[in-house]
């Protein structure tokens, strides 16, 4: 690897270090003024570097972009000092509501309540406040109720590159995410 290639990899590494949100290849190109092929090859080099056992970081592709993150194997040791506080954790009801929206989006509040069998107001407000869901449109029915869907923050939090990366549902589970009637 030439000195110029080393500097290009180092520049991209520094950009990713300074970013708190995933950065797309196009974003890296804009910030680095490098070509797409150089950015792509540099990302491959960085991935190799962070895959080494002595590295505490990993380069992950998430929410359509790249992000430097502590290795998942180190989270247990790091969470007491760097993890989110307990009040940041989602309750079982919030996770259930989040799952329903993620797997069945876009959904209205009434559709969410129909699937869950209980009121969804509090959970929807909580998920909106955390930025995990957002209003994605209005359903074309009388009253034009708001439809909800997931956000990039949801993808980032759950370390997904896209909704397609959600674990596949078994047929029995799939039935739970369908509207009754």
Q: Looking at the chain, how many residues does it have? A: 181
Q: Residue 6: how many CA atoms within 13 Å on its side-chain side?
A: 3
Cα separation of 149 and 48, whole Å?
35
Those residues with Cβ within 8 angstroms of residue 62's Cβ, 6 or more apart along the chain or in another chain: 22, 155, 156, 159, 160, 161
Cα separation of 170 and 161, whole Å?
21
Phi, psi for 137 (deg, rounded to 5): 155, -170
> Which numeric CATH code is attached to 3-79?
1.10.10.10
- Please, which residues bridge with residue 138 across strands? 146
Domain with CATH 1.10.10.10 in the chain: 3-79, 86-176
Strands 107-108 and 146-150, sheet pairing: antiparallel
Residues 32-61 have pLDDT tens digits of 999 999 999 999 999 999 999 999 999 988
- Please, which residues bridge with residue 23 across strands? 66
What CATH class has 86-176?
mainly alpha
Q: What percent of the chain has pLDDT over 90?
A: 38
3-state secondary structure of 38: helix
Residues 127-168 have pLDDT tens digits of 998 889 999 999 988 989 999 999 988 888 888 888 888 888
């Amino acid at each position: 690897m030439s000195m110029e290639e080393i500097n290009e990899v180092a520049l991209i590494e520094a950009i990713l270090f300074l970013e708190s949100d995933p950065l797309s290849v196009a974003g890296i190109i804009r910030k680095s003024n490098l070509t797409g092929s150089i950015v792509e090859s540099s990302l491959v080099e960085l991935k190799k570097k962070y895959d080494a056992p002595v590295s505490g970081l990993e380069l992950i592709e998430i929410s359509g972009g790249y992000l430097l993150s502590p290795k998942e194997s180190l989270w247990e040791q790091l969470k007491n000092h760097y993890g989110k506080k307990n009040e940041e954790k989602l309750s079982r009801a919030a996770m259930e509501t989040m799952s329903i929206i993620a797997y069945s989006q876009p959904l209205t509040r009434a559709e969410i309540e129909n699937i869950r069998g209980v009121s969804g107001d509090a959970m929807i407000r909580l998920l909106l406040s955390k930025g995990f869901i957002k209003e994605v449109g209005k359903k074309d029915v009388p009253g034009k109720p708001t439809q909800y869907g997931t956000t990039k923050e949801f993808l980032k939090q759950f370390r997904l590159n896209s909704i397609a990366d959600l674990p596949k549902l078994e047929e029995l589970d799939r039935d739970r995410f369908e509207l009754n009637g």
